[in-house]
Amino acid sequence: MKLIVRISLKKSILDPQGEAISNSLKSLGFSKLNSVRQGKILELDLEETDPDCGVKIAKEMCEKLLVNSVIENYSLEIE
């Protein structure tokens, strides 16, 4: 089973990388750009066939290692 984990900074957290990307895009002429927030996408390939168990395992991985819950949010999607 494949799961996609999307990790992003919480809205209240400054995103210096996103700001740098935004500034670079604007300097390239993309003047209609409001802002950029950058994040991470992880693809997990689990040896699991039950979707509920797979999501439970992925949530545990996120909470124990993959996501810093103080500054990041995440979402899971079964692929």
Q: What is the C-alpha separation between 43 and 54, in angstroms, rounded?
A: 13
pTM, two decimals, is 0.88
Output the 3-class SS for the chain: CEEEEEEEECCCCCCHHHHHHHHHHHHCCCCCCCCCCCEEEEEEECCCCCHHHHHHHHHHHHHHHHCCCCCEEEEEEEC
Torsion of the alpha carbons at 41, 76, 12 and 16, rounded to the nearest 10 = 0
Domains of the chain (ranges; CATH) run 2-78 (3.30.1280.10)
- The pLDDT tens digits for 23-72 are 999 999 999 999 999 999 999 999 999 999 999 999 999 999 999 999 99
Confidence class for position 14, pLDDT limits 50, 70, 90: very high
Q: How many CA atoms lie within 13 A of 15 on its CB side?
A: 18
